[in-house]
A and B are shown apart, each in its own frame.
Chain A
Amino acid sequence: MPCEPDHLLLRRFASARDRGDVEQARQLWEQLAINNFDRVQQIVKAFRFSPGGPRLPEHEHGSAASEAYIRVMSMGANFRKREVGQFYAALVTCVQNSCRDFGRKELRHERHVAGSVDRTFDPDGDAGPYDAALAAYDDHLREQARDALDAERGRVEAEGLVAWAIGQVRNNSYREVLELTWFRKLSAAQIAGELGISVENVYARRSRGGKEMERILRDLRS
């Protein structure tokens, strides 16, 4: 049986949790974590302490991925969101916090006081890089609800945070390529055929569109 998509697993997880079926909720979260193991592991490998900055030392990749994966598994007990983009945002925050903690190891060891050195968890502070985007997306959902445009609200909820962010990309040609990449999972060659453009053009649009999408998700405060 092919793998069940994350958005369906998350919906079933939320339903199981809400009706008190803890065993099924646990199993569904476990499946979500399996689906996302590569996401965890590959983010650890690509992680930089700042844009363009140093990576984690290679010998720490396994330990960091292991800790991050356990923390993602543990997140399920208290996870209350229903939308897959919100799940990914929480997962990325968790993985990047684990990576940063590994980077601080030396300093913490020297000072011998873990919690006082640039703590990753601050109950009153920003928990993750996508918080502003999540807040804006929540506002968007609330606005839709206030306007009582039920059909539109349903569409937005179904498409989710990622679709919303792609919808904010101003350049039509970038947006088109991102939609075909994310929602139909077409390869670069297939997109080139569908849009009647060169495959090199698809590479460039994906790259630039992806950067714009990232900016939208990170920089909504401005």
Chain B
Amino acid sequence: MTSDRDQILSEFIDAWNAGRRPDVDDHLARVPEQERAELADQLVSFLSFAPTPDYDEDALAAIRAEPIVADALAAPSTRGGLLPDLLVRLRERLSWTTPQVAGELVRELGLPDDQAGKTASYLRRLERRQLDPSGVSGQVFEALARLFGVPPNELEGAADLGGWASGPARARTAMAFRADDRDAAEAVSEDLELLADALHAPGDAARDEVDDLFLGGR
């Protein structure tokens, strides 16, 4: 005995396999309310291990043009890779401000509370692509991962598409970006908020533990 739900599931499967990009919501809307949960579970089961659809060129072009995909594809060519976008999303999902993240982060790292301002400055610069994450220590990634509840390797992977770069290459990049970081601080000096950040920006004269954590590399 078949049901409408079975038929709609099958129609989704056929459309998926043919590369017609079926929409879950459209299919759920076709079954009575009381059957939607079960159909949703079956669709997740199928989608979890469904074969690669037979996308044609038009379908692939449409996927590339999806805003989520287009943004993600553009990120690797910019400073920080996907990390700035990911940090902002994780922070906003928690409805936290950057100073709030910094406050939690200094506690996670066992730093004095009065380092929260400088830490917030570094976090802002990371989010704004003004700081290269190859200089950020593994301790910071691990602490952020604990705060946001994500695997540390996802954050590191987002940073430089990550394990992609070899160790020595990363170190060279980190060294190169230290000079750039100073340039970036100068470039944003007209911005009042960033001017305040710049007061905390790293300098060769008085480099402390926070500077090392954000500039010393992994």
Binding site for B on A (CB under 8 A): 1-3, 5-7, 20, 22, 25-26, 29-30, 33-35, 37-39, 41-43, 45-48, 51-53, 55, 62-63, 65-67, 69-71, 73-78, 85, 88-89, 92, 94, 97, 101-102, 105, 108-109, 112-115, 117, 119-121, 130, 161-162, 165, 181-183, 185, 187-188, 200-204, 206-207, 210-211, 213-214, 217
How many residue-residue contacts, CB under 8 A, span A and B? 230
- The CA-CA distance from A221 to B28 in the complex, in Å, is 31
B147's partner among A42, A48, A78, A115 (CB-CB below 8 A) is: A115
Knowing A70-B85, A85-B49, A92-B48 are in contact, say whether A78-B163 is a contact too (CB < 8 A). Answer: yes
Q: Is the CB of B161 within 8 A of A203?
A: no
How far is the CB of B149 from the nearest CB of chain A, in Å? 4
Asked, given contacts A74-B157, A77-B162, A206-B9, whether A120 binds B150 with beta carbons under 8 Å apart, the answer is: yes
Roughly how many angstroms separate A43 CA and B86 CA in the complex, as a whole number? 20
Within 8 A of A (CB), among B85-122: 85-86, 89-90, 93-96, 100, 104
Q: Which residues of A contact B100 (CB under 8 A)?
A: 112
Asked if B145 and A121 sit within 8 Å, CB to CB, the answer is yes
Is the pair A207, B10 in contact by a Cβ cutoff of 8 Å?
A: yes
| Residue among B3, B40, B57, B147 having the largest count of chain A Cβ atoms under 10 Å | B40
Is the pair B52, A200 in contact by a Cβ cutoff of 8 Å?
A: no
User: CA separation between A85 and B5, bound complex, in Å?
Assistant: 26
Q: Are A2 and B56 in contact, CB atoms less than 8 angstroms apart?
A: yes
Q: A105-B94, A187-B18, A204-B6 are in contact. Are A37 and B44 (CB under 8 A)?
A: no
Residue of A nearest to B156 (CB): A77
B60 at the interface (CB under 8 A from A): yes
Between-chain CB contacts (< 8 Å), 30 pairs: A2-B55, A3-B52, A29-B161, A42-B22, A42-B43, A42-B47, A46-B41, A47-B40, A48-B41, A55-B40, A62-B68, A65-B68, A66-B71, A70-B158, A73-B158, A73-B161, A76-B164, A77-B160, A77-B163, A78-B153, A78-B157, A78-B163, A85-B49, A88-B48, A89-B49, A105-B95, A115-B146, A162-B49, A187-B18, A207-B3
